[in-house]
Amino acid sequence: MRALLFVVLGLFLSTATAHARPKRKAKKVATVTRAESRELVKPAAKHPPKSRAQSFGAPWSGKLVSSTKFRAPDRTHLRRPHRAFATRTTIEHTRRAIIETLESFPKTHDLAIGDFSAPRGGWLSEHNSHQSGRDVDLGLFYKKRPAGYPDGFVDADERTLNSAAMWSLIANLASTADDDGGVRVMFLDFELQGVIYKWAKENGVSVSRLNKIFQYPHGRGASAGLIRHEPNHGNHLHVRFNCAAADTSCR
């Protein structure tokens, strides 16, 4: 009798405990639709960084903001690295023209590269311009590297100038004229223009193309061509580039 009583009591307690335990809720399984699955694997949209204005004002009265530093390619000599700052487009067009020229003339001497602008632009000694990051002075190519070059610029004439290499450099620069921030004008002694012009004409370059690039033979004061005569430019080529589209305060 006592044994039966214990059995009944055990069954009662077991049933009471079972009712007292809270039921666990079934975990909800997240479901993803086909459209959502495509969205999950979709790469994040890439927003190209906005171009920041760099050149402000004019080459002879301006400044440079967030400047880009010029990295000298192989076979070049950067004369004053602390004056090698400019706009991004000026740097890119200059590097490309120099590299393409040197690749075409693997046996020529190193090219001297002069001043661009100071890191923040503004007045630069020895120059009337070079203030807004859009000017650069490039040395010349010679048939034989002269004494003192490329540490300094050296005067050239018909006997010493490497007209083939100079034509290549000028043509590569001129090809950027229609690009954003491409070449605007170049300054070179009128007599040296004539030396290169005559060589190019004799080597198959059309007169119509030459007339688009050179002021020669129309006269030192003529408004013709990308290259204009300027005093004291018988030992280097001065290149000035246009304002880039992002440089809305540039002129």
Whole-number pLDDT of residue 28: 46
Q: Looking at residue 53, what is its pLDDT?
A: 83
Check residue 40 and give its pLDDT.
Answer: 38
pLDDT of 51: 53
* Residues of the chain with confidence (pLDDT) below 50: 1, 3-9, 11-49
* Predicted pLDDT at 42: 40
Residue 175 has a pLDDT of 98
Q: What is the pTM of this model?
A: 0.79
Res 243: pLDDT: 97
Helix (H) or strand (E) holding 192: helix 190-202
Residue 12: its pLDDT value, please?
A: 46
Backbone angles phi, psi at 128, to 5 degrees: -95, -10
Tell me the CA distances in angstroms from 129 to 121, 148, 185, 212, one per residue in order. Answer: 10, 25, 13, 24
Domains of the chain and any CATH numbers: 55-241 (3.30.1380.10)
Extract the tokens encoding 79. 């004369």
Sequence-ordered list of residues with C-beta below 8 angstroms from that of 80, at least 6 positions apart, any chain = 114, 115
